[in-house]
């Protein structure tokens, strides 16, 4: 299946721990994003990579470190987890270029719960 896939789907952990969420897309897209959706359902952009290069960093705490080993993968590592990090994290990708038809395709989300 062609898609944006994220793992794990659910993650429950203690405050202070370090955890990672992985994202892979097999759509051949050049650009990938991480979005955070809080309890009020607001979707906020965090990072974007284009061909392994970081191009957007929305003043996210430096406890969050994205890594893109190749253009099909974008992982999110979070150090010293805090209660406020509890959210659903969505990965998305889109083809490169300016065309308006280059829409975002989202993964199913990774729900992180920090206790």
Tokens of 50: 């284009």
Measured CA distances, 46 to 11, 64, 99, 103, 115 (Å): 19, 9, 22, 18, 22
Stretch that binds other proteins, among 15-23, 37-45, 61-69, 70-78 (CB under 8 A): 37-45
Q: What are phi and psi of 69, to 5 degrees?
A: -70, -30
Beta bridge partners of 73: 24, 70
Number of residues that bind other proteins (CB under 8 A): 28
Segment interacting with other proteins (CB under 8 A) among 20-28, 32-40, 59-67, 72-80: 32-40
Q: Under the criterion CB under 8 A, does residue 64 sit at the interface with other proteins?
A: no
Q: How far apart are CA 90 and CA 59, in angstroms?
A: 17
93 binds other proteins (CB under 8 A): no
Which residues of the chain form contacts with other proteins (CB under 8 A)?
A: 4, 31, 33, 35, 40-45, 48, 50, 55-56, 88, 90, 92, 98, 100-101, 103-109, 111
């Amino acid at each position: 299946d062609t898609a944006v896939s994220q793992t794990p789907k659910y993650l429950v952990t203690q405050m202070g721990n370090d955890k990672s969420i992985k994202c892979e897309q097999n759509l051949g897209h050049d650009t990938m994003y991480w979005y955070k959706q809080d309890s009020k359902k607001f979707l906020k952009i965090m990072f974007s990579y284009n061909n392994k290069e970081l191009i957007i960093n929305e003043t996210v705490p430096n406890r969050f470190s994205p890594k893109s080993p190749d253009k099909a993968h974008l992982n999110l590592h979070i150090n010293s987890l805090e209660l406020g990090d509890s959210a659903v994290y969505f990965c998305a990708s889109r083809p490169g270029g300016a065309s308006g038809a280059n829409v975002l395709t989202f993964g199913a989300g990774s729900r992180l719960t920090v206790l």
